[in-house]
Amino acid sequence: MDAFTILDGLVAPLDRNNVDTDAIIPKQFLKSIKRSGFGPNAFDEWRYMDVGEPGMDNSKRPLNPKFVLNQDRYQGASVLLTRANFGCGSSREHAPWALLDYGFRVIVAESFADIFFNNCYKNGILPIVLPKAEVDALFGLVEHTPGFRLKVDLPAQLVTRPDGHGMPFDVDPFRKECLINGWDDIGLTLRHADKIREYESRRRAEHPYYYS
């Protein structure tokens, strides 16, 4: 997974509480486990006017002009601003896959569902919890400031607005280290590849009958 240190990104607002994982990536798209290719179907039922199915040419589907992420001013956003209990519902890991493939590296919210929160870290997305007052202020600024951006500094654990106002956030030290270094679960294991090979070689020599 890609390392995360500092991001200066365009912010897109999704002013909804309790956005569940079926809204983030509907169940019909869960057949693949490739981790990629889900971005065009992120928020599929809100984003398009028709019913999406795997294999459809999404470039030819009618967009919902009322859905905020379809607005021109939010194209290319890498920071998603949302409300409370984001990522609730089923535990599908496809949800962060879809958000990452869409282009989001940071999600700022009042709170997250626990499993979704953990899955974000495992897939290179930084979920940031801020107080409701700060989130309210950000929604107002995004609405009235086209091209509104935030600077997210993971090493410093700080989100900074264009006016210089800084908002500190908490992050588990282990998760922070993994994101900064780009270590997912497989990457963490491969850090010990030499020791694993050494163990397997020794085990084969000591117990050859296991391998016959």
Residue 120 lies in a domain: yes
CATH number at residue 85: 3.20.19.10
Residue 194 lies in a domain: no
As a whole number, mean pLDDT of residues 151-163 equals: 98
Q: Detail the DSSP E strand segments found in 29-110.
A: 79-81, 106-109
pLDDT reading at 211 higher than 80: no
**DSSP character at residue 45:** H
Number of domains, the chain: 1
Residue 186 lies in a domain: no
- Single pTM value for the model: 0.89
Over pLDDT 70: what percentage of the chain? Answer: 96
Residue 209 lies in a domain: no
* 204 or 27, greater pLDDT: 27
Q: Is 153 exposed, middle or buried (0-12, 13-18, 19+ CB in 10 A)?
A: middle
Residue 54 lies in a domain: yes
What's the token pair of residue 44? 């599929």
Residue 160 belongs to domain spanning: 6-181
Query: pLDDT tens, 138-151?
Result: 999 999 999 999 99
Residue 153 lies in a domain: yes
From CA 145, how far away is CA 140, in angstroms rounded?
8
Residue 212 lies in a domain: no
Q: What is the pLDDT of residue 46?
A: 98
From CA 156, how far away is CA 185, in angstroms rounded?
24
* DSSP H helices in the chain: 21-24, 44-47, 94-102, 114-122, 132-144, 173-181, 185-190, 193-206
